[in-house]
């Protein structure tokens, strides 16, 4: 039966996959297209073997992958045999004439005698093996496992199921990328989009142009050699390493699509070979995140350079697609260049957008002549581009709609929906990333086919891809925290029939997936299930008691809590309704699945007057007028997950929420000085500049609103002769009743940024 019908059947039987789900329901992610149950179970244990067709090297590699994976995650090591033994066996059959499934699809049957997986191609067989591995790892146990008797007939919804990794802003090792590729394979994703060049680094060895990696692969960080910043930052992949990664991906049926960004995001290349830039001058490799001004020139020498680079790229990457960027090309240098303007007019082009369209089309023709196809971000539509170009829509879904209506193939990769550098939650303990948060539920609800497209236009939608930009992700620890488990949601969006998606069912399948992550050492985030411990802060400050509410982002799982200092386990009180506590007390809570596994590590909140009067800057919202917000690390290349600080590069102003001010005598601020390494291009004019009365600016505290009464002015120290973390203290005038506070930094905007680590109100005569 169809999987959607299966869900309906389970629901009517009172066994829908919620927190009280039937524990025997297979925890498969992504859901198969069709699944039906038989009667009984098949025991699989140390005697189970894998049987191959004769002389099938591809099957042997797939069988070896399954055996290795089971050894690491289940403690089983099936033998690989050429003929069927009398004991239970897993039989792998690749039959190009099989009619049961299409390309990348497979049929998987479990009966009382064994498992049989049939596919038309190697990719389908591999995907079937991944499904079997998931059936054999329904929990965190090792040893024998009971697999339900069932029939699966499965195939992907989309042909492009992608993840992009930015290796230009921060660099990952070959081993780390292979580890990510393994997880992509286990989620049936098949396109690894590799962002290899940008303003901040050139990461691919091009033998004809050695300066690209001798110079372009390295940058001198701000304040190099101090506060944990390296003397220089960078690295690159040799051609041999790239071949290794491409082969590793191919063995897992993943295509690596390289991105060589042009005509913008070219600063590292121009720093290496200034003659291919517009001005002829050599910039440094950029240390600034954002939009930098450097473009490639449009003369013949520059195109020869790009053609030669692409020759070596195509020799390394067998992918049909080559991504050439095309995004965020600020046209100032082209506009200011008499030579570029003359070229534009000679070509009869009306403006610089049309010049970019001509540029991209020229590159596209070169790729097409070599049997490849150009992919670019949706800006390539702005100047007109050949219908052969594939468009990756990142500025929302409008680019995909426009492109598909014009006959382009499209990949949906919109910001912020599928930008995995967006925070997973707005929790105070979340790590660095962009705001607003994009939750697991948000990703799961994403629909790749815009409703504005008719059936013919919708056929141009190749699939969806998540993007992992790394400006604020310096290590693979950061990447894993940001990617997992949102990759699980993406895999189901890309693979499973749209009608089968069920949020509660998906949540019910996650505990087993978390166990698989733990078995492989993957640092997934538990943000979706982490307990939020909430109360009426002001009522607690006034009355000394608090009504505590526990919740989590998903509204899922069992939350257990303690008030006596013990770590919460499943024997601790089960949260069922808000409860009242008397201050002081520490509330600890954790979230558990039905099977007893922990969905989220314990969180705690200390409830006393001192703690309630002290707030993290991550808890304090922006002042009205600008919603831009980032959580950043103390230095651009800091490798720790914490601490992180919330900033608004356009307006350094935050609100301390309304608080009973009776008896409050002082304000104490833990402040942090940060690098202003943000290239804002034409948006730089939006940065708010405020007058300051001391040489390095002040932190000004206003009552009620940002134009309200000034309660305190706290001068900032000399950034050249002070530590990055410092404290500010000031007396506050006596106040009555509840008031919010507006805290504004007036530091010069051509200097460093400042953030609020923590703001505490101090009662009575307490000394700072």
Alpha helices in 156-210 (DSSP H): 174-186
Q: Taking the CA atoms of the chain, what radius of gyration do you get in angstroms?
A: 28
- 756 part of a folded domain: yes
Residue 164 lies in a domain: no
Report yes or no on whether pTM surpasses 0.85: yes
Per-residue pLDDT, 88: 80
Q: How far apart are CA 522 and CA 514, in angstroms?
A: 9
Please check whether residues 64 and 136 belong to one and the same domain. yes
Q: Say what the pLDDT of residue 765 is.
A: 66
Half-sphere exposure of 237 (CA within 13 A, CB side): 27
639 shares its domain with 564: no
pLDDT at position 25, please?
62
Residue where a domain terminates, one of 95, 121, 154: 154
- Residue 79 counted as domain residue: yes
Residues of the chain with pLDDT under 50: 1-24, 766-768
**pLDDT of res. 15:** 30
- pLDDT attached to residue 4: 38
What does the pLDDT read at residue 9? 33
If you ran DSSP here, which 8-state letter would residue 2 be given? Answer: B
Secondary structure of 487-535 in the HEC alphabet? Answer: HHHHHHHHHCCHHHCCHHHHHHHHHHHHHHHHHHCCCCCCCCCCCEEEC
Tell me, yes or no, whether 585 lies in a domain: yes
Query: How many structural domains is the chain composed of?
Result: 3
Instruction: Kindly state whether residues 599 and 618 are assigned to the same domain.
Output: no
Is residue 618 located within the same domain as residue 759? yes
Alpha carbons 301 and 282: distance in angstroms, whole number: 17
Q: Which of 121, 138, 154 is the last residue of a domain?
A: 154
Q: What residue has token string 């390394």?
A: 316
- pLDDT recorded at residue 19: 33
Same-domain pairing of 726 and 648: yes
> What percent of the chain is helix, strand and coil (3-state, nearest 5)?
30, 30, 45
Of 126, 154, 182, the domain-final residue: 154
Residues 630, 665, single domain; the answer is yes
The 10 Å CB-count burial string (b at 16+, else e) for 474-493 is bbbebbbbbbbbbbbbbbbb
Residue 544: give the domain boundaries.
532-608
pLDDT score at 82: 79
* Angstrom distance (rounded) from CA 717 to CA 260: 43
What angle do helix axes 122-135 and 174-186 make, rounded to 10 degrees?
80
631 and 758 co-located in one domain: yes
Q: Looking at the domain assignment, is residue 716 inside a domain?
A: yes
Whether 409 contacts 376, CB under 8 Å: no
pLDDT tens digits for range 187-225: 999 999 999 999 999 999 999 999 999 999 999 999 999
> Residue 363: inside a domain, yes or no?
no
Same domain flag for 570 and 681? no
Same domain? For 642 and 753 the reply is yes
The residue among 682, 692, 701 whose CA lies nearest residue 749 is 692
The domain that holds 720 is classified in CATH as: 2.60.120.260
Whichever domain contains 576, its CATH number is 2.60.40
Burial of 170 (0-12, 13-18, 19+ CB in 10 A): buried
Measuring CA to CA, how many Å separate 739 from each of 545, 656, 708, 709, 729? 21, 9, 11, 11, 19
701 shares a domain with 580: no
The whole-number pLDDT of residue 86 equals 66
**Residue 127 belongs to domain with CATH number:** 3.30.379.10
Residues 132 and 65 in one domain: yes
In this structure, what token pair is assigned to residue 557? 């799982």
Q: Provide the token pair at 727.
A: 């404290």
Residue at 222 is within a domain: no
Same domain, 685 and 724: yes
Q: Which pLDDT does position 83 carry in this prediction?
A: 74
Tell me, yes or no, whether 717 lies in a domain.
Answer: yes
Q: Please give the pLDDT value at position 315.
A: 98
Residues 512 and 63: their CA atoms lie apart, in Å, by 22
Catalytic residues: 198, 265, 328
SS3 state at 204:
strand
Indicate the burial class of 68 (C-beta count within 10 angstroms; 0-12, 13-18, 19 or more). exposed
Give the residue carrying structure tokens 């309704």.
577
């Amino acid at each position: 039966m169809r999987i959607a019908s299966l869900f309906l059947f389970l629901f009517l039987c009172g066994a829908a996959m919620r927190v009280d789900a039937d524990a025997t329901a297979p925890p498969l992610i992504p859901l198969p297209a069709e699944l039906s149950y038989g009667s009984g179970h098949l025991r699989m244990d140390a005697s189970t073997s894998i049987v191959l067709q004769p002389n099938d090297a591809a099957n042997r590699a797939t069988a070896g992958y399954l055996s290795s994976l089971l050894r690491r995650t289940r403690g089983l090591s099936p033998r690989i045999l050429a003929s069927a033994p009398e004991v239970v066996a897993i039989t792998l059959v690749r039959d190009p004439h099989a009619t049961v499934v299409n390309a990348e699809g497979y049929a998987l049957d479990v009966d009382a005698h064994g498992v049989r997986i049939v596919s038309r191609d190697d990719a389908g067989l591999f995907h079937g093996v991944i499904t079997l591995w998931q059936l054999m790892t329904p929990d965190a146990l090792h040893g024998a496992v009971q697999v339900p008797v069932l029939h699966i007939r499965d195939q992907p919804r989309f042909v492009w199921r992608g993840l992009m990794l930015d290796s230009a802003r921060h660099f990952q090792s070959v081993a780390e990328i292979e580890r990510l590729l393994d997880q992509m394979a286990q989620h049936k994703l098949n396109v690894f989009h590799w962002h290899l060049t940008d303003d901040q680094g050139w990461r691919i060895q091009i033998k004809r142009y050695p300066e690209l990696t001798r110079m372009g692969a390295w940058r001198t960080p701000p304040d190099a050699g101090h506060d944990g910043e390296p003397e220089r930052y960078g690295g690159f992949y040799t051609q041999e390493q790239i071949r290794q990664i491409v082969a590793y991906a191919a063995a897992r049926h993943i295509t690596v699509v390289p991105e060589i960004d042009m005509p913008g995001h070219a600063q590292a290349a121009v720093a290496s070979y200034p003659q291919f830039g517009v001005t002829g001058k050599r910039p440094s490799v950029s240390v600034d995140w954002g939009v930098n001004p450097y473009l490639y020139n449009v003369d013949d020498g520059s195109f020869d350079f790009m053609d030669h680079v692409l020759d070596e790229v195509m020799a390394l990457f067998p992918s049909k697609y080559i991504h050439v960027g095309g995004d965020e090309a600020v046209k100032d240098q082209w506009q200011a260049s008499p030579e570029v303007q003359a070229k534009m007019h000679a070509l009869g082009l009306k403006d610089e957008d049309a010049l970019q369209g001509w540029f991209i089309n020229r590159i596209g023709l070169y790729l097409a002549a070599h049997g490849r196809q150009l992919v670019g971000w949706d800006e390539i539509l702005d100047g007109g581009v050949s219908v052969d170009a594939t468009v990756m829509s990142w500025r929302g879904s409008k680019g995909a709609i426009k492109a598909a209506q014009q006959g382009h193939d499209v990949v949906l990769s919109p910001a912020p929906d599928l930008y995995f550098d967006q925070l997973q939650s707005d929790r105070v303990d979340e790590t660095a990333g962009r705001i607003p948060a994009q939750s697991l539920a948000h990703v799961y609800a994403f629909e790749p086919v815009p409703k504005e497209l008719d059936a013919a236009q919708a056929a141009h939608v190749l699939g969806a891809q998540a993007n992992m930009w790394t400006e604020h992700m310096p290590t693979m620890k950061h990447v894993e925290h940001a990617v997992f488990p949102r990759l699980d949601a993406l895999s189901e969006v890309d693979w499973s029939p749209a009608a089968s998606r069920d949020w509660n069912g998906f949540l019910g399948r996650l505990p087993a997936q978390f166990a698989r992550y733990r078995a492989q050492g993957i640092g997934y985030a538990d943000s979706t299930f982490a307990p939020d411990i909430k109360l009426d802060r002001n009522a607690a400050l006034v009355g000394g008691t608090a009504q505590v509410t526990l919740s989590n982002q998903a509204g899922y799982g069992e939350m257990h809590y303690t008030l006596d200092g013990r770590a919460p386990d499943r024997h601790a009180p089960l949260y069922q309704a808000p409860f009242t506590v008397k201050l002081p007390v520490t509330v600890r809570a954790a979230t558990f699945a039905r099977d007893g596994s922990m969905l989220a590590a314990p969180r705690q909140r200390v409830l006393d007057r001192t703690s309630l009067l002290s707030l993290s800057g991550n808890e304090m919202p922006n002042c009205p007028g600008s919603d831009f917000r980032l959580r950043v690390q103390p230095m651009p290349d800091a490798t720790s997950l914490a601490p992180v600080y919330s900033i608004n590069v356009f307006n350094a102003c935050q609100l301390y929420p309304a608080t009973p001010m009776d008896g409050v005598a002082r304000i104490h601020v833990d402040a942090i000085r940060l690098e202003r390494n943000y290239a804002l291009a034409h948006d730089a004019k939006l940065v708010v500049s405020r007058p300051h009365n001391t040489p390095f600016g002040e932190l000004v505290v206003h009552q009620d609103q940002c134009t309200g009464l000034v309660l305190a002015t706290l001068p900032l120290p000399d950034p050249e002769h002070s530590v990055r973390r410092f404290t500010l203290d000031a007396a506050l005038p006596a106040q009555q009743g509840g008031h919010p506070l507006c805290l504004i930094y007036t530091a010069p905007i051509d200097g460093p940024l400042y953030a609020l680590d923590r703001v505490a109100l101090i009662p009575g005569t307490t000394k700072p």
